[in-house]
Structure 1
Amino acid sequence: MMVGVAGKRADDSWQAYARELGVNLQRARLAKGLSQERVAHLAGIAGFTYQKFEKGESRPGTPMNPQLLTLVSLSQVLEVPIVDLLPDFQPDVSR
């Protein structure tokens, strides 16, 4: 399957957005002094899944796309509003 220029730009933008979300998760976790495993346990997700989230991935080479329930759980565990976890830019999701 061939990806057009717009599709490639959207993919790159989404990967950058996911990476920044991962960085924001890591910053919030470190500010709370929690381990990745502890955050994962309290949020009800697997430790490996959370580790990948901090890298901005769900699978190697695939940007993370967590469910809303997971984001809400993580924001509650980290005691930060969801908006503080989200990057300051909007990803290009056009295809």
Structure 2
Amino acid sequence: MHDDPNQAWEQYTAALGVALARARATRGLSQEQVAYAAGIAAFSYRKLEKGESNPGTPANPRLRTLVALAGVLGVPVAALLPPDPDGVTAWK
């Protein structure tokens, strides 16, 4: 279990970014193509793949964004989400 909930969240969002990048690569799409099809800015999508919202701030995408990205990538939303990390209870 992580003592620092921020560290747990950073690891979780980094894993989300890896899942997005893998799904995108599997589909043979560019970051720009995915972003456009999902209705978000390419800059925002690139940050999600890095697990960030703003520099140094872990990602926290809207549910609507995750659903749109999953649709574009042809995967269920659950396929993009990593397993619940240790320390999740500390996020309350």
Structure 1 residues 68, 10: CA separation in 2 closer, same or farther (over 3 Å shift)?
A: same
Q: CA RMSD in A?
A: 1.5
Q: Is 1:45 paired with 2:49?
A: no
User: TM-score by structure 1 length?
Assistant: 0.88
Q: TM-score normalized by structure 2?
A: 0.91
Ranges in structure 1 where 5+ consecutive residues have no aligned partner: none
Structure 1 pair 34–91 and aligned structure 2 pair: CA distance change class (3 A): farther
- The structure with the greater share of residues assigned to strand is 1
Larger radius of gyration: 1
Percent same amino acid at aligned positions? 53
Q: Of 17, 22, 27, which residue of structure 1 is paired with 2:12?
A: 17
Unaligned runs of 5+ in 2: none
Cα pair distance change 1:92/1:84, threshold 3 Å? same
* Runs of 4+ off more than 4 Å: none
- What residue in structure 2 maps to residue 86 of structure 1? 81
> Which amino acid in the other structure matches residue 13 of structure 1?
A
